[in-house]
Amino acid sequence: MKYILTMKRTFLLFVTALLVATFANAQEGSDYAQLVRDNGAQFHINFSAGKFDENGLLVTEDIYVNSNNAILVGREDFVKRVKRYDGPFPGMTLTDRIVIVEDNIAAVHYILQGKQKGKYGDLAPTGNKVEAMSAEFFVMDEKGLMKDLLTITQLDKLKAQIKGEETIEEHQKVTLYPIDHSVSKEVTEKTTDMYVRHFNFRNWEGFKNLLAADVKVNWNGEMFTGADAFMEKIKSRVASFSNITYQLDRSVVEANRSAIGYTMNGKHDGAYSYKNKTFQPTQKDFEIREAIHFEVGADGKIQSLIVISNQDEFLPFVK
């Protein structure tokens, strides 16, 4: 009897220790996730306040950066890169629309807004308002410092607005989109994974089944609604680049939201229309990055998506 009581006490002590350890680990994970979220959001707060050097304190000394295909390494070069907008667009703001966190990665979708008051590349100052979408993926170290950055921005929009080809009358109001934690992460993760797989395999039936009938689409600023309209858009891309595939570079999932950054590989072997021009096949191979932010329902259907890329990157391959 004494032996049985001893065994019971030992078992209870073991279970208690296990529960305490599990709670502690969960709490530690929660604290770290919040650190990643807070530090990720702080970059754009600092930028908008003109505190560029303070962003240097939030990154590792050996940070690796791919900023719209410009590759650089190190804190000093990172800060210089961040400051580059201050000349042509003094006072530019970066306002987050979506921030999601998984493990040590934060995926952020934000809007750049400002005026062109200085020279941008070879474009003289115009005073024109500019506004563009961007996606970033922040990979953090164990201290919450950013060690890797991937940025994808609508640089084509900035150029078009500076040139007067597009006009921004008033900057839009940007608010942070909510995260619905009632939707299982596993559901969102599966839908996100199958989106890429179905596209690469050209499983159009499976691809369309991922979409809500009234899915809301923001395709680089072109707004439309409906699964049929989105399928038409996707298939027109394949008509221009028949062997195009998506190679996943980043994937972040939190509850009902996910974000992917990927490299599009393919060949221009079909007619391609852009800015009221049609480019005939050049048979040139291309490699271009793009990002998508998804909102997924509890049924696994994509409720909305935002596609972000620099469309001008296609031009060298279609001319």
Instruction: Establish if 27 belongs to a structural domain.
Output: yes
Q: Tell me which of 101, 133, 163 is where a domain ends.
A: 163
Residue 80 sits in the same domain as residue 149 = yes
Domain count across the chain: 2
Please count the other Cβ atoms lying within 10 Å of the Cβ belonging to residue 70. Answer: 11
| Sign of the CA dihedral running 103, 43, 311, 100 | positive
Q: Are strands 146-153 and 59-67 parallel, antiparallel or unpaired?
A: parallel
Q: Which residues of the chain have pLDDT under 70?
A: 1-29
The answer for residues whose C-beta is within 8 angstroms of residue 100's C-beta and 6 or more apart is: 106, 107, 179, 252, 253, 254, 257, 258, 259
Predicted confidence at residue 30, as pLDDT, reads: 81
Instruction: Establish if 2 belongs to a structural domain.
Output: no
Predicted confidence at residue 275, as pLDDT, reads: 85
Residue 232 sits in the same domain as residue 305 = yes
**At 230, phi and psi to the nearest 5?**
-70, -40
Q: Tell me which of 133, 163, 193 is where a domain ends.
A: 163
Instruction: Establish if 102 belongs to a structural domain.
Output: yes
Q: pLDDT by residue (tens digit) across 216-261? A: 999 999 999 999 999 999 999 999 999 999 999 999 999 999 999 9
CATH number of domain containing 189: 3.10.450.50
Residue 233 sits in the same domain as residue 133 = no
CA dihedral 92, 72, 292, 238 (to 10 degrees): 120
Residue 257 sits in the same domain as residue 296 = yes
- What is the domain range of residue 291? 185-318
Residue 124 sits in the same domain as residue 258 = no
Q: Are strands 222-225 and 245-254 parallel, antiparallel or unpaired?
A: unpaired
Q: Residue 253: exposed, middle, or buried by beta-carbon count in 10 A (0-12, 13-18, 19+)? A: buried
Residue 205 sits in the same domain as residue 297 = yes
Residue 26 sits in the same domain as residue 154 = yes
Structure tokens at 150: 């991937």
Q: Measure Cα distances from 163 to 111, 145, 158 in Å.
A: 20, 38, 9
Q: pLDDT by residue (tens digit) across 164-187? A: 999 999 999 999 999 999 999 999
Q: Is the pTM of this model over 0.85?
A: yes
Residue 111 sits in the same domain as residue 196 = no
Predicted confidence at residue 29, as pLDDT, reads: 55
Q: Tell me which of 132, 163, 194 is where a domain ends.
A: 163
Predicted confidence at residue 9, as pLDDT, reads: 56
CA dihedral 202, 203, 208, 210 (to 10 degrees): -110
Residue 119 sits in the same domain as residue 41 = yes
Beta strands (DSSP E) in 7-92 are 59-67, 70-73
Instruction: Establish if 72 belongs to a structural domain.
Output: yes
Instruction: Establish if 169 belongs to a structural domain.
Output: no
Residue 190 sits in the same domain as residue 127 = no
Instruction: Establish if 113 belongs to a structural domain.
Output: yes
Structure tokens at 13: 């002590």
Residue 153 sits in the same domain as residue 31 = yes
Residue 197 sits in the same domain as residue 155 = no
Going by the DSSP 8-state scheme, the letter that residue 140 receives in this structure is E
Instruction: Establish if 107 belongs to a structural domain.
Output: yes
Instruction: Establish if 180 belongs to a structural domain.
Output: no
